[in-house]
Amino acid sequence: MKKEYFLLIATTAITVILVLGMVRFIAPSLLGGSRDLVFVRSSVEIPPFFDNIFREEDYTSDEFILHDPRLIIRGRPLYPGDDRYGPNDILGFRNWSVPNHAEIVTIGDSQTYGNNAPLELNWPSRMGFHLGLEPDQVYNMSVGGWNAPQYLEIFPKALIFKPKVIIVAFYTGNDAFGSFLHVYGSENWPQLKTDTSLTAEDAPNVPAAFTDKWSTTFGDGTKIRFTPKRRLLSNNLDLAPVRAGSEILRKVATNINRRSKELDIPVIFTIIPTKELVYANRIIQDGIDPPKDYKNLIEQESINIKELAEHILSLGGSEYVDVVTPLQVSALTKLLYPKGTSGHPTASGYEVIGATLAKATKKYISETF
């Protein structure tokens, strides 16, 4: 009898503990606690929100580009900015602030971030100006060094701003090669691998900067430098890694297009060309005989742009806007890039891109204003 008594007490105690545990999990407020606090305190997977946003190591870093476990790299938050870079917002993107809503979101790399020009003169800002939008109505989600896999990764985040249209800008100067390195050099995007026989170690060496400088003089006496070997690297389809990288660009465009059609949010794709291709017609106009690498680059890049543009148009639902032609036309009489080896446009070049995309984007926001 005594043994049965102790067994009853033990069973009751265990039952009470189990019930209290269930109540604490399902309805902790009945015990004077918060369910949110319970989850946060019981999980090592959820970092404290503000500690994660205001990371001291981010703001005390001397680096302009920071490492990221998912995106590989990201922009430094609250970078103060100057005439070439920044300012960056709290998320590390180049904007004055983070809006609750944006009419347009732009996604790209340093060509869209706007290296070489103040924030108000990069192409997303100039596009917004031509559309009559306030600065915070165009939100730029671009980071230098990003490539196609990062465009795909950040696309769902862009939807949070409920934009009328999203613009995704590829860059032929390094997107194919960079996409290969990021996809094959990590396990973050296995679905984008197109050739399982390749590894990141198959990537060819990038030509050293000091060995890749072709200088020439235009007919008006302007001296300018190009880097055709480096730009040919990301356009040379004779190289298996570049072919794989080009296929990644097409896969990313396909995936973004599919998602945009599911959500009924228009997407505009554009392809920003290299400095070398922009000046190709001026080289011909001024009777200049370029080196073999330059000629090969122009031929290969032109083919790559044509094929990627045709693929985008074949998807249906998304729009492709050509910025190559207006850049080439403007370059016949204007300097759109620095005279040195930099492949990023100056404010004049960004103006051409921004004005061109404003014309294509106007129809998506005209009903708002």
Q: Residue-wise pLDDT tens for the chain (369 aa)? A: 555 655 556 566 566 555 555 545 444 544 444 444 444 445 566 778 888 888 889 988 889 999 999 999 999 999 998 888 999 999 999 999 999 999 999 999 999 999 999 999 999 999 999 999 999 999 999 999 999 999 999 999 999 999 999 999 999 999 999 999 999 999 999 999 989 999 999 999 887 766 788 999 999 999 999 999 999 999 999 999 999 999 999 999 999 999 999 999 999 999 999 999 999 999 999 999 999 999 999 999 999 999 999 999 999 999 999 999 999 999 999 999 999 999 999 999 999 999 999 999 999 987 554
Name the maximum alpha-carbon separation found in the chain: 111
Say if CB 87 and CB 99 are below 8 A apart.
Answer: no
Question: How far apart (Å, rounded) are the C-alpha atoms in residues 117 and 126?
Answer: 11
Spell out the domain ranges in the chain: 2-42, 68-365
The shares of helix, strand and coil residues in the chain, as percent rounded to the nearest 5, are 50, 10, 40
What single letter denotes the amino acid at residue 337? Answer: Y
Query: How high is the pLDDT of residue 16?
Result: 52
Beta-strand relationship, 214-217 and 223-226 = antiparallel
Question: How far apart (Å, rounded) are the C-alpha atoms in residues 172 and 278?
Answer: 12
What single letter denotes the amino acid at residue 105? Answer: V
- Length in residues, the chain: 369
The CATH architecture assigned to 68-365 reads: 3-Layer(aba) Sandwich (3.40)
Torsion of the alpha carbons at 142, 144, 150 and 154, rounded to the nearest 10: -20
Query: How high is the pLDDT of residue 14?
Result: 62
Question: How far apart (Å, rounded) are the C-alpha atoms in residues 298 and 304?
Answer: 10
What is the arrangement of strands in the sheet containing 319-321, beginning at the earlier edge strand?
Answer: 138-142, 104-108, 165-171, 267-272, 319-321
In sequence order, what DSSP letters do the residues of 326-349 get, joined into one string? HHHHHHTTS--S-SSS--S--HHH
Question: How far apart (Å, rounded) are the C-alpha atoms in residues 191 and 210?
Answer: 37
Scanning the chain, the segments in alpha helix (DSSP H) are 2-26, 35-42, 49-53, 56-59, 110-113, 123-130, 148-158, 175-184, 228-233, 240-263, 275-278, 280-285, 292-315, 324-331, 347-365
Torsion of the alpha carbons at 83, 89, 94 and 97, rounded to the nearest 10: -100
Question: How far apart (Å, rounded) are the C-alpha atoms in residues 116 and 337?
Answer: 9
Say if CB 360 and CB 291 are below 8 A apart.
Answer: no
Query: How high is the pLDDT of residue 197?
Result: 95
Query: How high is the pLDDT of residue 120?
Result: 97
